[in-house]
Amino acid sequence: MKFTYNGQTTEVELNKYSKTLTQDPTQPATQAMFYGIGFKDEDFDKAQVGIVSMDWDGNPCNMHLNQLGQKVKASVDATQDLLGLQFHTIGVSDGIANGTDGMRYSLVSREVIADSIETNAGGEYYDGIVGIPGCDKNMPGTIIGMARLDRPSIMVYGGTIAHGEYNGESLNIVSAFEALGEKLTGNISDEDYHGVISNAIPGQGACGGMYTANTMAAAIETLGMSLPFSSTNPAKSDEKQREAASVGEYMKTLLARDIKPSDIMTREAFEDAITVVMVLGGSTNAVLHLIAMARTVGIELTQDDFQEISDRTPVIGDFKPSGKYMQEDFHRIGGLPALLKFLLKEGRIHGERLTVTGKTLAENVENAVTLDFDKQDVIRPFDNPVKATGHLQILYGNLASGGSVAKISGKEGEQFTGTARVFNGEQHFIEGIETGRLHAGDVAVIKNIGPVGAPGMPEMLKPTSALIGAGLGKSVALITDGRFSGGTHGFVVGHIVPEAVKGGVIGLVEDDDIIEIDAINNTINLKVSDEELAKRRAAYQLPEPKATRGVLAKFAKLTDDAAHGCVTDF
């Protein structure tokens, strides 16, 4: 077909992959199957776009994604020479699974999503892919699946949730988790406890603070893999509906110009995504996911790249969990394009990068709102930051020879030395709060919950929220070979490498040891002699594997460590 762009007309082939099935005369059964699903003769010449959503009824983040998928399909079908075909994949609700063994499946779901998108789209020869994720592992899973196939692709984020409200107080998912700590310490009535829980989540959309879902949505829009405003358009908004309805023409441009994920997700794009994660005060999970996504397109991204960007990037977004605002507030002041326009003006990001609009990042945000720092403080200027440098710090030491990730807002201080209290998993930790075993000045050590040890590296949102609710958030540090929710705040260090079951020193810590955490010099050390550690190591017995079959056992066998993104296909 002929395609005109910027005044130039060229002959292009849109059905580069699907023609294998639709145009080959030796594939009569294949073509019969297409007639069986309702193809007309003219449909065999169209490019096929696979539209995949993680829709399922059991999670507010995902419950509306099929409706968005239908809107996207209508847009694709209405675009000349394109035809949309919907399919679905799975998800795990972190908000529901957190605090249970079900959370072991959360990070694993990222790999299952990537595998299933690659499998369906690869097997069915789709020419392009539109992914519609909701909850946080959905997004990197979608991008990894797209990148493996490296065909024209667009991600449409399901959107953020509105805030809840009870007794005049604004609520979100973390409010419910923190209410548990208040209940355990007798600081909330049964009536108010129920009131918080029953009003925290008002409907569809992903968790509303700068938690992992909104962090990854912002990072992916910055990368250029979703349309402008995708990360900040609320789930229940006309803007989100219009975004879904605009996909067809953008997809046609990508197909005609053969713009692929590898053309968009460049080294500069990942550097810019990290910068945005830092300025917004985003989730520690971004370290895992961006490293994994970069590896898929052949770019070497390390924890040390995060540290380098953190050292020179202030936090200027005042977002929950440690700040005041929600994603819906960000949307009201101009959304991510307004921030990107500001960062471009300040010389913090690269503007001449290609995006899924077919235009550069600078072109996408040219007409965005100019942030007015006299009228809003959701985003602050660089001369009045929330924190002078980045909140994500990469710490090394004898407790983490392969690195670890700390989330330091600055409000809880930047150095902590305390007495170890060791817990074998998060339920053991919750019992420690209930029984008063954990005191101010302690460093809680939750071990054996890494990628292999859990397996699945579950988030520790229940423990960190319980700490905050119990009034210990500023006086107790927490370290783990697991990971944290984007909703976590306090003095926390996760992603410790090597993990306990891989011989990490975290597995050798004993009660009353002294642990020194220094987020200024980026160190984390157990103050025990090498001789004593050698004695402990000689006596140490690895725990039995917690999963011997099924998807968790596969993940434990295949996964790389947290420093390398916990990917399973390298």
322 is a catalytic site residue:
no
Alpha carbon distance 389, 391 (integer Å): 7
377 is in an annotated binding site: no
Alpha carbon distance 136, 290 (integer Å): 13
Residue 427 phi, psi (nearest 5): -65, -40
Cis peptide before 451 (omega within 30 of 0): no
Residue 409 phi, psi (nearest 5): -75, -20
C-alpha pair distances (Å), 304 with each of 77, 273, 563, 570 = 45, 15, 10, 20
Alpha carbon distance 27, 22 (integer Å): 8
Token representation of residue 375: 């009228």
H-assigned helices in 224-302: 238-245, 247-257, 261-264, 267-280, 285-296
Alpha carbon distance 143, 538 (integer Å): 43
Query: Which residue in this structure is represented by tokens 């402008």?
Result: 228
Residue at 568: amino acid letter: T
Alpha carbon distance 365, 347 (integer Å): 14
| CB-count exposure of residue 28 (10 Å: 0-12, 13-18, 19+) | exposed
191 is in an annotated binding site: no
Q: Which of 401, 404, 485, 529 is catalytic?
A: 485
136 is in an annotated binding site: yes
CA angle (87, 92, 94) in 5-degree steps? 145
324 is in an annotated binding site: no
Instruction: With beta carbons less than 8 A apart as the criterion, state whether 285 and 136 touch.
Output: yes
137 is in an annotated binding site: yes
| CB-count exposure of residue 427 (10 Å: 0-12, 13-18, 19+) | middle
C-alpha pair distances (Å), 294 with each of 128, 140, 221, 396 = 20, 10, 15, 23
Instruction: With beta carbons less than 8 A apart as the criterion, state whether 19 and 43 touch.
Output: no
Alpha carbon distance 285, 220 (integer Å): 13
Active site residues: 485
Residue ranges at the known binding site: 61, 94, 136-137, 459
Residue ranges at the known binding site for [2Fe-2S] cluster: 61
Residue ranges at the known binding site for Mg(2+): 94, 136-137, 459
